[in-house]
Amino acid sequence: MSDFSHLDKSGKAVMVDVSEKTITRREATARAMVILPPEVVSAFDGDDISTKKGSVFQTARLAGMMAVKKTSDLIPLCHPLPINGCGIDITRADHDTLWIDCTVRVDGKTGVEMEALTGASVAALTIYDMCKALSHEIVISQIQLMHKTGGKRDFDRT
């Protein structure tokens, strides 16, 4: 019926059977962009924002890493994976724009694109949550896969 990997021939949702695949090193990096209004930009102290709840960026990194580990609980047809490593970098692209890059690694039979996308998304949502008292004009956008290796084919958004 379809070329979608998560649908069988009759169109029913299925979890992809990876039992015959070999274990390989897989890595994926996803990025989310967060655009901050002036009220939030003015709250920066160096390379971070401090609140009564603590460091915004450190909290966002932790939330993103926790989300990576819970991706299969959130996305119905994702396989639970033993994550080898996860890192989240938050950088200022310019004075009002942040890039959140989440890189996930696994030795497994399926990729980690969804884990990287989930980690970047939840880190961005955490920044929103911790800064919304200053402004609701925060914009989260351009959540996208940047790079992946392993599996059927590699991908690099350049």
Say which CATH class 25-150 falls into.
alpha beta
Q: Report pLDDT for 50.
A: 85
CA angle, 136 then 137 then 139, to 5°: 110
Mean pLDDT of the chain: 92
**DSSP conformation letters of 60-123:** HHHHHHHHHHTHHHHSTTPPP----EEEEEEEEEETTEEEEEEEEEEEESS--HHHHHHHHHHH
Q: Report pLDDT for 18.
A: 85
Residue with tokens 């942040």: 98
pLDDT in tens, 36-94: 999 999 998 888 888 887 899 999 999 999 999 999 999 998 999 999 999 999 999 99
What band does 21 get if pLDDT is binned at 50, 70 and 90?
confident
Domain ranges of the chain: 25-150
What band does 2 get if pLDDT is binned at 50, 70 and 90?
low
Q: Residue 44 contacts by C-beta under 8 Å, 6 or more apart in sequence?
A: none
Lowest mean pLDDT among 16-25, 132-141, 147-156: 16-25
Q: Report pLDDT for 1.
A: 42
Separation of alpha carbons 150 and 105, rounded Å: 10
Q: Which residues are part of the catalytic machinery?
A: 129
